[in-house]
Structure formats: structure tokens, C-alpha cells
């Protein structure tokens, strides 16, 4: 249980960066950021794919089709929604919506053989919900003030990303738990390889976008560097850590681990702004982590 929590926290450390990169590259369209991140992911995993080729050769047609499905929805479409939402509605509002994932996934995924009694799960989910409310208190007030088509589009993109990543971890966990011999690092590598043709196709589409200096845009070195960081950390390592979390924890608890993405996403955003979180935000972050601790204890009870 503790190992699963540690892997979940590690994934959050990696994934928190996805909210910061669109702020560092404001002149890059969301499709470019999504294609660039996963093109880097696919290229980065070529090395571990070669080193672990014996395991990859044991994967069947169904495994590769599932990896392609997961990559399209959980990778490409999810980050396209995140990047678009951050650029149109802002990083805090996007993290607020995506931050509901711990509750949504825990509720939707708490079924089957590993189901946790709702009376034990209720308190952790309420604490996490209160933490989210405190963390994003200021953003609720800004929602009505952010009128305009761009803001509305950002909100819709964030909701689309929420749907994508409610589906992805449950689908991925079911596949992992049904295959005990599946290597978690190998499965992360397989998803990266499956993402490569999708990302390459999307990157070629960018060539036809008016006003964009294809292939690497107005700040090529920063773009390439950040895409490599996302490809290695947020994509390959993040997926590997999350695979371990999915294997070690029941869905009702593993869903709560995504709270660390919100915690570190907010932390990176405040560092970028050069601001210190307000007392309400700090209290909310404490509640978020406390809710996860309660959730792990509930699963062990």
C-alpha cells in the first residue's frame, strides 16, 4: 500500500509540469504542444524499447491495440485539452477542473472485487473535496468574470480532458490487473511506441497551420527542451509510476493519488508566478494530502 502511494506521488511530481509548460510557451497552439510532447515520448522510448525488446515481442495484437487506444485518449486528446484549457482559461482554473479527478475516479472506479465500503471511503473523499474547494476558492469567483468565447472554449477543453482521464486510468488498471506478468516499465514503453505514429501525424498536420513557424515555432530551443522534459518525465516516467500505482492499489484508492498532480501543478504555477499561496490555498493543499492518507488507511482497514 505504501509503495503504491509512493509511486502515485512520484507520478504527481512528474505530471504537475504539464500545467506549467503551456504558460512557458504561450505562442504555441495546443495541438503543437500535444504533438510535440508525445512525439518526444515516442522517440525517447526507442532506447528502452530496444533494451527491453524481448518483453515487447511477447505482447500480442490485443495489447498493442489497447496501448494505441490508451495513447490516443489518455495521452494525445487529454493533453490537447489541458494545453488548450490552460491557454484559454488559465492554469489555476484548469487545475481546478482536473483536480476533481481524485473524487471522480474514486467514485466511478469503486466497484468489483476490490471495492471499498463507501462508509470507509466517504471521509477521505469529503476531505479531498474540501481541499479542492479551498485551493480553488479564488478561481470560482473568476469563472463568471472570464466571459468570452476563448474562456468558454477553455472550460470545455478542461471538461473534455477530465472525461478522457476518468476513462484512461480505469481502462489501464483493468488491463494491468488482468495480466500479472506484464512489465510496468515495458507497458509504459509500449504506450510510448503506440503514441509515436499518432504524434507524428499530428505534428505533420501542424505544418499546414497558418501563422506557425513549422516545425519548432518562434522559440525552438525552449520548445524542444521542454518537449524532451515532458517526454521523459511527465510521459515515460509518469506513465511507468502510474502503472505501478494501478497494479498495487484498488481503483477506489489509486484514483485519489491523482491529487498529487493538482498539488504539484499548483506548486509549479505559484513558483512560476513568484507568489506564495494564500492561507486558504495552503490549508486546501494540506487537506488534499490528508485526504489521500485517510484513503490509504481506509483501504488497509
> Which of the four pLDDT bands, split at 50, 70 and 90, describes residue 1?
low
Per-residue pLDDT averaged across 91-103, rounded? Answer: 75
Give the pLDDT confidence of 24-81 residue by residue, as tens digits.
998 888 888 888 999 999 999 999 999 999 989 999 999 999 999 999 998 889 888 9
Give the rounded percent of residues in the chain with a pLDDT score beyond 70.
Answer: 90
Write down the pLDDT at residue 22. 85
**Measuring CA to CA, which residue among 117, 66, 131, 98 is closest to residue 255?**
98
Question: Residue 152, Cβ neighbours under 10 Å: how many?
Answer: 13
Give the pLDDT confidence of 204-237 residue by residue, as tens digits.
887 767 777 878 888 999 999 999 999 999 999 9
Q: Which residue shows C-alpha cell 472570464?
A: 146
Write down the pLDDT at residue 224. 94
Note every long-range contact of 120-125, with CB atoms under 8 Å and residues 24 or more positions apart, other chains counting.
Answer: 120/298, 120/299, 120/301, 121/252, 121/295, 121/298, 123/294, 123/298, 124/256, 124/291, 124/292, 124/294, 124/295, 124/298, 125/256, 125/291, 125/295
Give the pLDDT confidence of 119-174 residue by residue, as tens digits.
777 887 788 788 877 776 655 555 555 556 777 888 899 999 999 989 998 899 88
The single-letter DSSP state of residue 67 is: H
Residue 276 pLDDT greater than 90, yes or no: no
Reported as half-sphere exposure (CB side, CA atoms, 13 A), residue 149 has a value of: 0
| Angle, alpha carbons 160-32-255 (nearest 5°) | 35
Per-residue pLDDT averaged across 89-99, rounded? Answer: 75
How confident is the prediction for the chain on average, in pLDDT?
83
Write down the pLDDT at residue 112. 64
Per-residue pLDDT averaged across 183-190, rounded? Answer: 92
Instruction: List the domain range (segments joined by +) for residue 284.
Output: 2-300
Of the two residues 288 and 272, the one the predictor is more confident about is: 272
Count of domains observed in the chain: 1
Q: Which residue shows C-alpha cell 498539488?
A: 263
Task: For residues 268 and 274, give the distance between their C-alpha atoms in angstroms, rounded to a whole number.
Answer: 10
Amino acid at each position: 500500500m505504501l509503495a503504491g502511494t509512493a509511486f502515485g506521488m512520484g507520478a504527481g511530481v512528474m505530471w504537475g509540469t504539464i500545467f506549467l509548460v503551456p504558460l512557458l510557451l504561450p505562442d504555441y497552439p495546443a495541438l503543437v504542444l500535444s504533438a510535440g510532447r508525445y512525439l518526444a515520448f515516442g522517440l525517447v522510448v526507442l532506447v528502452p524499447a530496444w533494451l527491453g525488446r524481448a518483453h515487447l515481442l511477447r505482447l500480442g495484437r490485443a495489447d498493442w491495440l489497447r496501448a494505441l487506444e490508451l495513447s490516443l485518449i489518455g495521452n494525445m486528446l487529454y493533453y490537447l485539452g489541458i494545453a488548450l484549457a490552460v491557454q484559454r482559461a488559465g492554469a489555476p482554473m484548469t487545475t481546478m477542473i482536473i483536480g476533481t479527478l481524485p473524487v471522480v475516479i474514486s467514485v466511478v472506479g469503486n466497484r468489483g472485487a476490490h471495492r471499498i465500503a463507501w462508509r470507509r471511503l466517504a471521509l477521505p473523499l469529503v476531505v479531498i473535496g474540501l481541499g479542492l474547494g479551498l485551493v480553488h476558492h479564488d478561481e470560482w469567483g473568476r469563472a463568471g468574470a472570464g466571459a468570452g468565447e476563448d474562456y468558454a472554449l477553455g472550460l470545455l477543453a478542461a471538461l473534455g480532458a477530465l472525461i478522457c482521464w476518468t476513462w484512461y486510468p480505469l481502462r489501464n488498471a483493468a488491463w494491468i490487473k488482468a495480466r500479472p506478468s506484464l512489465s510496468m516499465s515495458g507497458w509504459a514503453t509500449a504506450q510510448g511506441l503506440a503514441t509515436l505514429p499518432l504524434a507524428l501525424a499530428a505534428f505533420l498536420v501542424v505544418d499546414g497551420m497558418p501563422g506557425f513557424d513549422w516545425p519548432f515555432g518562434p522559440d525552438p530551443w525552449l520548445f524542444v527542451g521542454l518537449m524532451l522534459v515532458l517526454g521523459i518525465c511527465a510521459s515515460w516516467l509518469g506513465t511507468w509510476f502510474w502503472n505501478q500505482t494501478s497494479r498495487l492499489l484498488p481503483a477506489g484508492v489509486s484514483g485519489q493519488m491523482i491529487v498529487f498532480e493538482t498539488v504539484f501543478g499548483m506548486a509549479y504555477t505559484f513558483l512560476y508566478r513568484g507568489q506564495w499561496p494564500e492561507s486558504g490555498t495552503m490549508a486546501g493543499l494540506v487537506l488534499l494530502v490528508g485526504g489521500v492518507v485517510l484513503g490509504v488507511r481506509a483501504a488497509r482497514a
